[in-house]
Amino acid sequence: MRYLSTRGASGSHVSAAQAIVQGLAPDGGLFVPENFPRLTCDAISQMAGQSYQQVAKRVMGLYLDEFSAVELSAMVDAAYTDNFDDRAIAPLVPIDERESILELFHGPTLAFKDMALQMLPRLLRASIDKTGETQDVLILVATSGDTGKAALEGFADAPGTGIVVFYPKDGVSPAQELQMRTQAGRNVGVVAVEGNFDDAQTGVKRIFSDPDFAEDLAAKGYRLSSANSINWGRLLPQIAYYVWSYTQLLAQRRIASGDEVNFVVPTGNFGNILAAYYAKRMGLPVHKLICASNRNNVLTDFFRRGDYDRNRPFYKTSSPSMDILVSSNLERLLFELCDRDASTVARWMQELNTGGRYAINDALRGTLERDFYADCCDEDAAAQTIGRLWRDKQYLLDTHTAVAQAVYERYQSDTADNRQSVIVSTASPYKFAYDVLMAVDPAATANPRDPFEASDSLAACTGSAVPARIAALKCETIRHEDSCGNDGMAEAVKQVISRFV
């Protein structure tokens, strides 16, 4: 299995290990597999009843043929162990006769990013060994909230690596910010950026494309890589949990082999739902991929009109991990949509970079509509959904999953589709305790900037337990105080790595 760039640079056909170490292709494109390995319905059915680890090994092994079965097995077994608070790793919880919720928040940082970022450091270490890379790898991350802490947790004190995370100041929840700023590790740095997530993401990409910075970094003994979902090693593990959820539907006898299902995914940077699309390309029986956005609804407009336009107001919402106007992973979908015409993708990305928009034709938009349904909801609708699901079914949603639930209900109203549907739940409600509390009990009083007061009130209100990892933050020390403007990110990296031990 080789990997190529979405923008088609010559010489970009690389091994999986090379793609994982590089993170971003030299031409600025994203690495994609040269083909999609197939999973037959019989093969999927045979996985029903297997553990999450067994399914993950099977799926990832199809893309990582340069890694031995022993190597891959060791990495998977180390990634998914008692660091998750549920033995199922990603339990599938039935809500009613046609809806289930895939809980991806049982890892060490209480967010779905753990599903990939417990695996990526191990993949990266093994890839460094396979490529013969002699320099340490510096991971740069732009986060809208959850990726940052999950990446810090995964790479803290990992040999041969350093990591610097940029997050938008006042653009993440109090709990998310505390999780990052209290992170221990001799090789970690956290920097608040004056701006939004798109500013942070643009700044990281600018650093990656700066040859002078790369030369200066090499002199310090580092080469750059990424832990965002632009890195193939971050995206690949996410494919596994879509296959896993289907095998769970089979094991629970909610579907028969070959039955199509829907996946409903709260979406910001497009990596999570892209993994579901890749699973479908592999043969997973999927009817619709339902793309759920908050008020930053650039993806909804794109799927409906074929026009991607980031020139619009940016909203800070109660689902901050989705507060994104430039969805990087959409580039990979575009590559498949235009039959892997890299020159067309490169042109669209140039138009986005210079003018903030691009458009696809009606024929391509029709192709999108066969696989995707897209809608959005605002904070009020999300809050109403949290409150209603708690009252009716005693199930507590976080603010992002509430967006997905609200959009799913609209999809059902629009289509009367009664297929089994899986709502992808991306975070613990306690990471956004104040907003969830207000949705469940609007009369409650709590300080919106105090995650502990809100968490205690939410626990008292619902009879649920505050996760131990949230409660433990009370005793943690703030270790990271760095901040910078959009134009100071490269200098901030230099200052942070000068303090690495």
Active site residues: 113
CA–CA dist 495, 303 (Å, integer) = 42
Neighbours of 494 (CB within 10 A): 13
Contact 382, 319 (CB under 8 A): yes
**To 10 degrees, what angle do helices 379-393 and 399-415 make?**
90
**Secondary element (H or E) of residue 226:** strand 222-226
SS3 of 123-184: the string is HHHHHHHHHCCCCEEEEEEECCCHHHHHHHHHHCCCCCEEEEEEEECCCCCHHHHHHHHCCC
Q: How far, in Å, CA of 85 to CA of 110, rounded?
A: 9
Rounded alpha-carbon distances, angstroms, from residue 295 to 274, 312, 318, 388, 463: 20, 11, 10, 20, 31
Cβ proximity of 25 and 12 under 8 Å: yes
List, as own/partner pairs, every contact residues 212-220 make where C-beta atoms lie below 8 angstroms and the sequence separation is at least 24, other chains included.
213/490, 216/494, 217/138, 218/135, 220/497
Structure tokens at 272: 């999570």
Question: How distant, in Å, are the alpha carbons of 61, 104, 172, 411 from that of 175?
Answer: 35, 18, 8, 32
| Distance from C-alpha of 67 to C-alpha of 65, rounded to nearest angstrom | 5
**What angle separates helix 120-131 from helix 69-79, to the nearest 10 degrees?**
150
From residue 195, alpha-carbon distances to 128, 203, 346 in Å are: 34, 11, 27
d(CA 371, CA 336): 12
Strands in 284-330 per DSSP E:
286-293, 307-309
